[in-house]
Structure 1
Amino acid sequence: MNTLHSLIYFFFVSLQEGNPEVTDAQILHYGVIGGDLKAGFSFNSAGTWKMFCREECEGENILINTTDVRAQTGRYSIEYEIKSVYVLSVSISKLTESDSGQYSCGLAGSSSSASLTPFVIVVAEALLDGNDDQLKHFDKETGSSLTVGCSFKQPGDRGFFCRGECGGDNTLVQTDDVKAQSCRYNIGYASHTDPGVLYVSITQLTKSDSGRYRCYLEGSSSSSFREFEVTVTDVIPSLTGQNQYGLYVGLTLTVTIILVSVSVLIFYKKRSSKRKGETTGARMTLSISHSNEHFSRWRLFTVK
């Protein structure tokens, strides 16, 4: 699996909606969520300072800026080696989907100037290698993107990304080069890695994108494919800011009303019970009074 998580060099245009545009002058490096990525870059001249940045090397975008031959900051690290050329390797551990995007690294004679090499990292949600018998399923929300890597043991000459079985209108995009794009569908292939990886992606997902997909690698001697399923559902609005405050106030008022209602009910119930007891006591007193009066009259009659 370490080989599968290593860098893959090929070019790609507009990988996914929301990411900075990728030009043909930039190199793509591929990784999988939870895996590690290491990319090496060669330079013709040495540099005292080594830099690793997200997008442009400014402010908080500077991940590492050091004169050491090795350095690490959180999940990011660099290593500098002198071989036949000067090599700067950059690494990111425990990749997340948010690690996808533009990066740059380089060597410099001072901390304020550097010869930078731009590159792009794409993090796939899964790598399908055919070892799992169960069909991989992805649950996505409308408007999001999905990138899947498909690993093959044998190299191929042409890659296909299809909805269902490949052929006719089911073929979304294909390439016999290193990359291709058709509307919201992208495909890219790196044959020089061992094994080769074909990656496919869909941007701006809609509910109608739900279904089964296939990445297919056609070779001169053999062909192979990997399949996966996607279910796209509407985004559930999250409660933030004013909505959270409104919900809190509403719940507080509801609880208060319930507590007051229960208190009033208990009060009237006790009061009703008290009145009932007082009425019963009064009747008993009246009955005893009548009995005493009757007894007194009976005694008076007897004496006479």
Structure 2
Amino acid sequence: MCINRIPPATVGYCVYDQRFTLYESKAGRMMVLIRELSLQDAGVYRIGVGNVFREMNLKILSSSCCVKSERVTGHLNGNVVIRCDYPEEHEEKWKYLFKLNDHRVERVIFCESFDEYQKKRFYIVDNTHSKMFTIHISTVTGEDGGVYYCGVGPRKYSFNSITTIKTVYLNVTEKVASVRISGLLGGRIMVECKHPEENHKSKFICKESQKECSEKTYSRKQYQWEKTGGFTVFDDTSRGSLMVFLINVTEGIYRCGVDVSEFYEKYTEVTVEVTEDPCCGKTISQVGRIGETLKIVCQNPLTFRSNPKYFCKEEDDHICQDISSLRPAGKYSLSILNRTGLFIVSVFNLTLSDAGVYWCGVETSKGDLRYTSLTTKVQISIKFDALIGYEDSVIQIRCPYASNFKQHSKHFCKENEEKKCFTQQKNLQPSTQRFSLSNNITAGVFTVTIRGLTAEDAGKYWCAVKTGDVLMKYLSNELKIIMKQELRVIGREALNVSISCISSRTIDSEKKNNGKFFCMGKHPSSCDQDEVKVSSERNRRGRFSLSDDASSGIFTVSITDLREEDSGTYWCGEESSASAIYTKVHLLVTKDFPGFSAIIFITGSVSVVLLLIGGLILIFCKTRCTKTQGPSSTNRTVPVNNEEVLSANHDYEEINPTTHRSRRNASSPNNRSDTENTEACIYSTVQLPKEEGLTYATVSFQKNPDSPSDGSVTVIKDDSSTEYAMIKHHSRRK
């Protein structure tokens, strides 16, 4: 019983059923082709016409000799060689070369054992010593590409089988042009290859390795950029061109081509050279505010001075769109500075959507190939007004984003600390949870909350989105920190004062050289204007000077010849991560302040002012008690010993909640005559109940060299309570 593998065929036609093909050859022979033989294909087959048939017993042998395949490349109009080796048992058989054509095979050329034969452009020779026969094809054409089979068989095969021992895939390539293009180290190249006569065929790009292209990258979509196989390509079918974006430019030979058929390709050979130039290959950061006009200066190598200029914006897949195609119209302008190689791009009426990555470049045309060398990367960011945060408080930073970034992952990064960027899933400091991020897709804004602000939090921060594998920082936020601790300084007119500003940050090798400054104004923003009195860069300015002791973390500001108009609010400032930390300073210059040139104290709370006022009165009284008045009307000052004054003219008493009288109230008239020309001061002290939660730093009073008093007042910091000193100045005894 015979099972039909292939239905009956009409003469001259080919019937194909999976691996089996039945057809009539050009020589009028009935042919059956069985491909990809397996052991299950063994058996008896009938081949015939109508009721006339012959039987054939097919045996399948397992051998590694005859399952080889090879790819051979031939260049148009060149020569190609196909080599077919065979096992010893086939030495006496005839040698054949067949070509597969639409599921059928046609005999191309054959020869007897140890013989040779030439047929037009094909030449075959059998070498039985090396067990190999060779086919030479001269003046290769595009039609020569295809699948060939090396076979062995009997001399005549009126009814017999030919065994294929090797499959050869012949690819024919046609190099239509060869060009050299130049790119800059760190830059990018966009190449446009034109094949207008083959506009609907599959286009590809590949990089040669040992003069072959083993892996081609094809454009799978029309009129759309796509990233595939390490390249980004755009198939412009209407123009018959393929645009290729080389992101990581490396030297080498590339092929930009089109498949005319499965085994015939046309290509342009592109040799890429990478050079260095000090002008380019770097990143320029530009920051502007919403509504402003931003000007960008682009520089190119001198060799490209006369080339057309190019400026584009990078999109999600690193594609750079020419600004002429961007909307709205009139958003950009480009002007060229003659003979300099420079050109200026202006971006008008900045908006949040203008933030992103741009490239400066130049265009070059060579035949049917045009390329753009992108030389300088430009990062445009939008800057908001600086934010002010207070130590130990909470601040929220809003990051609005354009609608095309809604589905991108959101990131928040500190300048120069990109490794610490965080998202909703990964906080910057997970151990403390001080940082958190929430995203409102509907409103197009994500918000970052920072709790328990410290001096270390001062700096520049970036709102960023992830585009592909690149983090795009589009919005700049500067965070300034104002410390809780304040300095209060009281100085005497015409004298000098020195103010010690303590660094608010941990001192290390990187922060020792942070810039210091001292400015005047009610708000820290005055330090960004013309109110800086003195700084590290300009450490002397008129009556102001600054000295910095980096090792101790203290810088000192000195003011000479104090004047009443010097009174006001000042700021000790320290640069920190592209931002600043501020400590508030209150300076009061007074005309009548005997005994001291200046008093400096530190406070962390308004309540401590009461203590300090009491201290001032104490010093005032003490200095008054050292003075004596004589009977003369000239108010001559008489030197008085401090100890004598204290023992003779000063009384102390403890004050209780009830009224007390001084122990000297019963003094005799004689005693009164001894003291009528001497100021008598009575000091009283009171111990108030301790109050939790108030802490004060040390307060020290600078002594005026002209004063005879050696007095000083120190308030010691206590974490649990505060002692108050209350001073009451009694009237002078008559």
**TM-score, length-normalised on structure 1?**
0.38
**TM-score, length-normalised on structure 2?**
0.17
Higher strand share: 2
